[in-house]
């Protein structure tokens, strides 16, 4: 009698993330374009890791750099102004 | 010669004459230190993402120019001296400058800015927006850099 697996392994369907800058060549990364860069920070203003955003290494570096440049010019916050809890 | 762009932020509560005088001053510094000014982009008064020196608004101006390291050095030295400037940032866009293409671009920008400036009285506000489309085909990165400030302005 074959041994039945006690618990069925949970299946993970990992959807392969693709770098959106590689897919769409027309998209540019620019420190002046704070609205686009805002997609790559959390609401706390932290830069979203590559693991989650799906960016490739090259584009993640550029996004990171652009965000830091935008922060310097006060186009993006280092720490957003939060309403009191 | 290299191609640079430089953004500076003037304190937002200062009158327009002060803003205009910084534009004149820094344009002059660029052209008198071996630089060629290609265009100015006026983003207007914007809300800052955080307080700087107690102010919450800033007037953003972007200068697109070709120059040498000496141009940038002198420009940034003057940014630091001027109390009205709360932030500045200079970025190198490309290492080589084609002088003929540069002249063509300046001409295209002047042409785009001229018709609206002739008809209505405020040329400073009218100039940046209509030049965005005609200037775009001249070079690829000009297209991307033109797009962003206009979208940012709507905010």
pLDDT score of B91: 92
| Total domains, chain A | 1
Where chain A has pLDDT below 70, the residues are 1-9, 12, 14, 16, 85
Average pLDDT along chain A: 85
Kindly report the nearest CA distance between residue B119 and chain A, in angstroms.
Answer: 30
**Residue A35 pairs with which residues in a beta bridge?**
none
Q: Does B7 touch chain A (CB under 8 A)?
A: yes
The verdict on residue A82 lying in a domain is: no
pLDDT score of B8: 93
Chain A residues whose C-beta is within 8 A of a chain B C-beta are 28, 30-35, 69, 71-81
CA–CA gap between residue B2 and residue B19 (Å, rounded)? 26
* pLDDT tens sequence across B66-99: 999 999 999 999 999 999 999 999 999 888 877 7
The boundaries of the domain holding residue A60 are: 20-72
Residue A66 sits in a domain of what CATH number?
4.10.640.10
The verdict on residue A5 lying in a domain is: no
Structure-token pair, residue B122: 């405020």
Closest CA to B79 of B147, B152, B18, B6: B6
Where chain B has pLDDT below 70, the residues are 114-155
The verdict on residue A47 lying in a domain is: yes
pLDDT score of B38: 87
Q: What is the pTM for the complete model shown?
A: 0.69
Closest CA to B132 of B146, B115, B122: B146
The verdict on residue A32 lying in a domain is: yes
CA–CA gap between residue A4 and residue B85 (Å, rounded)? 73
pLDDT score of A75: 92
Cross-chain Cβ contact A35/B155 below 8 Å: yes
Q: Which top CATH class is B1-155?
A: alpha beta
Cβ neighbours of residue B92 under 8 Å, at least 6 residues apart?
Answer: B2, B3, B4
Cross-chain Cβ contact A34/B152 below 8 Å: yes
pLDDT score of B138: 45
């Amino acid at each position: 009698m074959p041994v039945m697996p006690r618990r069925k392994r949970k299946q993970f369907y990992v959807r392969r993330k693709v770098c959106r800058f590689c897919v769409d060549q027309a998209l540019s990364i620019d420190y002046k374009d704070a609205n686009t860069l805002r997609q790559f920070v959390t609401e706390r203003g932290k830069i979203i890791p590559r693991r989650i955003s799906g960016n490739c290494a090259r584009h993640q570096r550029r996004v990171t750099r652009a965000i830091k440049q935008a922060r310097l010019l006060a186009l993006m916050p280092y720490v957003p102004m939060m309403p009191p809890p | 010669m290299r191609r640079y762009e430089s953004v500076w932020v003037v304190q937002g509560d200062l009158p327009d004459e002060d803003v205009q005088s910084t534009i004149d001053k820094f344009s002059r510094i660029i052209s008198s230190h071996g630089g060629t000014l290609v265009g100015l982009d006026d983003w207007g008064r914007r809300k800052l993402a955080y307080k700087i020196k107690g102010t919450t608004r800033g007037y953003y101006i972007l200068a697109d120019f070709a120059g040498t390291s000496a141009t940038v050095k002198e420009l940034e030295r003057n940014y630091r001296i001027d109390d009205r400037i709360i932030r500045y940032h200079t970025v190198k866009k490309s290492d080589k400058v084609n002088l003929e293409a540069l002249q063509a671009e300046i001409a295209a920008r002047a042409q785009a800015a001229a018709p609206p400036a002739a008809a209505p009285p405020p040329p400073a506000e009218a100039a940046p927006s209509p030049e965005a489309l005609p200037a775009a085909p001249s070079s690829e990165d000009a297209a991307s850099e033109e797009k962003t400030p206009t979208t940012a302005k709507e905010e």
